[in-house]
A and B are shown apart, each in its own frame.
Chain A
């Protein structure tokens, strides 16, 4: 006999096997980015609060954010905040003003538009952050390699 199903098991199995179309992937990415930003935000509010509650600790907290793995994470965080926002706007606008757009064929388009818009808004910031990371953590100045650079 099959093991009894639980909500959690159904979800995990569903996520792994349901060949969802665009709308499903957008839902997953929206949820993942929302939860990721929330996790960061909880830590962020607490570490920022040390400026008042425990000033000597603040410098150590910021020191962590400057490490290479964290800076890579911040580039991801930037994408998460932007994608979640663009897709959230898509959800809100569709819900409130044009519910007909929830039709699967229409969503197939709007989900892709959201992904492209988010990538365009993210890329310039990501480049600057990557440049800063190489500059501060590896002493590589990418601008020096440009023909019209320094």
Chain B
């Protein structure tokens, strides 16, 4: 019976937070441990990034990280906002604002990943 009811957007989103969160454990933890602990910020520069972004495997990895971490985080921010904002109209305005911020920054990040670094332009 319950399976015939079309789940609402909020139910789907609730599940999405849980599934994306579980996926983020390997994705985000490995990324931070690799970049910040094993490699370290003193060894990171544009040449290092250029080599990594020339590798389709790492580009794909980063793309999933961008998609899942940022969507999860921005949806989480929307939930936090709902705890403080109760007027339906204000909620809708903030939701649209968050959606726009999410789309714009995701697009910028995705373009950089797809195009790769350009160390030859450093002056």
Chain A residues in contact with chain B, CB under 8 A?
7-8, 11, 31, 34-35, 37-38, 41-42, 45-46, 48-53, 55-56, 58-59, 62, 65-66, 70-71, 74, 77-78, 81-82, 85, 88-89, 91-92, 95-96, 121, 125, 128-129, 132, 136
Is A77 a contact of B32 with CB atoms below 8 Å? yes
Is B28 a contact of A11 with CB atoms below 8 Å? no
Given the contacts A81-B28, A81-B32, A95-B18, A11 and B122 also touching, CB distance less than 8 Å: no
Q: Is the interface of A mostly helix, strand, loop or mixed?
A: helix
Q: Is the interface of B mostly helix, strand, loop or mixed?
A: helix
Question: Which residue in chain B gives the minimum CB-CB distance to A67?
Answer: B41
Is A52 a contact of B116 with CB atoms below 8 Å? yes
Question: Which residue in chain A gives the minimum CB-CB distance to B49?
Answer: A51
In the docked arrangement, what's the CA distance between A78 and B28, Å?
10
Is B69 a contact of A56 with CB atoms below 8 Å? no
Is A49 a contact of B73 with CB atoms below 8 Å? no
